[in-house]
Structure 1
């Protein structure tokens, strides 16, 4: 698709009547259309063309794009293009029999051309977009759409799409993303679909069905470990009344540990299996979440292997495997000390941040402050000791120099000519006489 707000135009030359007759002749309905063209009955002409338009899927590949572009151009001359355009889009989602190999690419290019021919705020764009989603789902081409999903919210606002239609689009994206293996995008659009329900509709059957779907997706997802966003959605909160056991399970995964999960299973024996939830996946995810909680509440940032084994209810020899898994899940960062049998925590993710977590954070800050204060005090003592030792060493050097008669720093040597109080008197010069000859 082209960038939003940049409609792509198709340039054609000729009047509606001329072009319509040309298209009718191409579709072998020229005689049926001729009288209607002469009377300028546009919509009646277009009805004939639309009924015959499925034949375009069997024309030669080189004529495909031009023929469809001309048909769309004619439709846009109508005062009611919404009557005809959806039928054309539906044709394009069906097989292109004249080109089994290149057909999907030709059809997708034509659909995106139609999308870009329409003005940005034209609500017909929504119907074309839905046809594109249908096409991508049929052909497993979801990757072609992903770069443009970031514009979808703006498009929805421009088209003034109602909540029900938004959900329809999101549902299509959810399924297409899921089938392509993009679990993350699929889950994000389930949340978007949930947020389209008004407050007085959150307990409706449709809303609760999507809420359950979102919960099951999050529980089974290999990449989803944050349940707070889900827990805060009104439709999901309504599960506490419509499906209380599911809601209880959600709170366990959002805020609690493995011990609480095991207690839940004891209280609701056989329920997890009955609801066709994956027992192994839930157990694994709960252990990883428990590990993250353990790392977050450890004030020393050093967790003994024995404590990890106890919290995760695993043998000691499996601890390092779980350390690798929790790091791979990006819940915790750190390194193992196999010699000391401890895990050193560098960074961790809080699963929930409430009053309890603020207190834990306060305790950690107090611990760090005390540690830094002790380090600063030790450094000051070391610095003072070094300065005192330096002074003592200097004094010792000066003392030794004085004992050997060598001046120390800043002193002049005794007997230096420049320091004598008086110059020694020289003997008077003897007068020369004749007797000296």
Structure 2
């Protein structure tokens, strides 16, 4: 996100005086006279009424006003500006719920974040407000790119583990609201990775939210890695872990049995049964494709419990996901599979990959030897 650079060639006191006068003209309840207590008290009163510029004021004037406040904040010593920065952030985050102001307030918060020294502990708190203010997909994309980049945002003042967990939870919620489900899933996995064996039992709520988000996400199909996370392992024996295990490695009938026995649980978790059915059909088809390169329509219909005439449209939907590569022979009523993504990737899959690579290596050596023989034969001629 690009933000304007603020250069104001007057003293802090003069800047505060101008802001006081401007707020007064907007009808704010503030005196034009500077405070005898100093610049911090001036700024405290200005921030308290700065939302007066949000009404009946042009967007450019709003941005100039907010940037002027930022220019004063960043020049105050850290120990004198912390409470003022928090108060300013709260004002802007609240204003970000309004449509036309969301982009302006986000830019002002981002300017404040970037302007603070890398050693400032306030960068963390400002960034949390930046994320809260990012209400739209294009906004969150401009201030958050990926987890690896996130860790470098705070310079030399790295957040402690509790702070990072709070930020990752906040990011996860905002990303989901902005329909960034793939990024949200990565953030949640990162969050669960912050727990150790000693405190993994404290992460039950986070682990459950992670599982539910993954199950509900229509584009997430590789669920096996979740089972290896320590907080998720602490849920073994609970219904949510049983449900995850079904999505990881079992077929549609297992899910239908679970739903029949625990219908109220599935509904109470906010999961949609029809969406669950759709995902389980896809996962079941992937599992069938792992062991069968050729499947009849009748087998697909039986295994996936489809109605007459639904097989062709289902296969088309599968091919759109690119989880399986196959071709459909409608006259023969068969599907020929060329490759499929594995639902789980454990020791067996690694062994298969190793065998395949060894086979390729052997074939390449054979081709190389044959080419050498051809070269020798041509030379002899």
Q: Do both share a fold (TM > 0.5)?
A: yes
- Partner deviation per Cα, 1:360-405 (whole Å, 9 max, x = no partner): 6789899999xx9xxx9xxxxxxxxxxxxxxxxxxxxxxxxxxxxx
RMSD: 3.5
Distance 1:332 1:117, change over 3 A: same
Q: Which of 317, 327, 341 pairs up with 1:335?
A: 327
SS in 2 for 1:351: coil
Runs of 4+ in 1 over 6 A off after TM superposition: 359-369
Q: Report the equivalent of 2:297.
A: 305
Cα distance in 2 between the residues matched to 1:277 and 1:161? 34
Deviation at 1:357, TM superposition (A): 4.1
Cα distance in 1 between the residues matched to 2:286 and 2:66? 57
Cα distance in 2 between the residues matched to 1:249 and 1:78? 54
Higher mean displacement: 119-128 or 220-229: 119-128
Q: Which of 145, 167, 181 pairs up with 2:140?
A: 145
Contact 2:250 2:284 in 1 (8 A): yes
Contact 2:175 2:184 in 1 (8 A): yes
Q: Which of 53, 63, 66 pairs up with 1:65?
A: 63
Cα distance in 2 between the residues matched to 1:225 and 1:93? 35
SS in 2 for 1:198: coil
Q: Report the equivalent of 1:280.
A: 274
Deviation at 1:123, TM superposition (A): 3.1
Higher mean displacement: 354-363 or 178-187: 354-363
Q: Which of 160, 165, 168 pairs up with 1:167?
A: 165
Q: Which of 330, 340, 346 pairs up with 2:338?
A: 346
Distance 1:113 1:354, change over 3 A: closer
SS in 2 for 1:291: helix
Summarize the alignment of residues 29-428 of structure 1 with structure 2, pairs less than 5 Å apart: 29=30, 32-33=33-34, 35-36=36-37, 41-58=38-55, 60-61=57-58, 62-79=60-77, 80-95=80-95, 102-137=100-135, 141-150=136-145, 151-156=149-154, 158-204=156-202, 207-241=203-237, 244-265=238-259, 272=266, 277-298=271-292, 301-314=293-306, 317-357=309-349
Larger radius of gyration: 1
Cα distance in 2 between the residues matched to 1:178 and 1:308? 34
Cα distance in 2 between the residues matched to 1:284 and 1:314? 11
Q: Report the equivalent of 1:391.
A: none
Is it true that 1:20 corresponds to 2:16 in the alignment?
yes
SS in 2 for 1:14: coil
Deviation at 1:231, TM superposition (A): 1.6
Cα distance in 1 between the residues matched to 2:263 and 2:19? 68
Cα distance in 1 between the residues matched to 2:360 and 2:113? 59
- Partner deviation per Cα, 1:192-251 (whole Å, 9 max, x = no partner): 3322333322222xx21221122122222211111012222211111115xx22212211
Name structure 2 gaps, 5 residues minimum.
Answer: 25-29, 368-381
SS in 1 for 2:337: strand
Contact 2:196 2:230 in 1 (8 A): no
Distance 1:270 1:223, change over 3 A: same
Contact 1:115 1:125 in 2 (8 A): yes
Cα distance in 1 between the residues matched to 2:185 and 2:333? 38
Corresponding residue pairs, total: 351
Q: Report the equivalent of 1:402.
A: none
Deviation at 1:254, TM superposition (A): 0.7
Q: Report the equivalent of 1:405.
A: none
Distance 1:77 1:262, change over 3 A: closer
Cα distance in 2 between the residues matched to 1:236 and 1:54? 44
Cα distance in 1 between the residues matched to 2:263 and 2:9? 74
Deviation at 1:270, TM superposition (A): 6.3
Cα distance in 2 between the residues matched to 1:221 and 1:263? 22
Q: Report the equivalent of 2:374.
A: none
Q: Report the equivalent of 2:377.
A: none
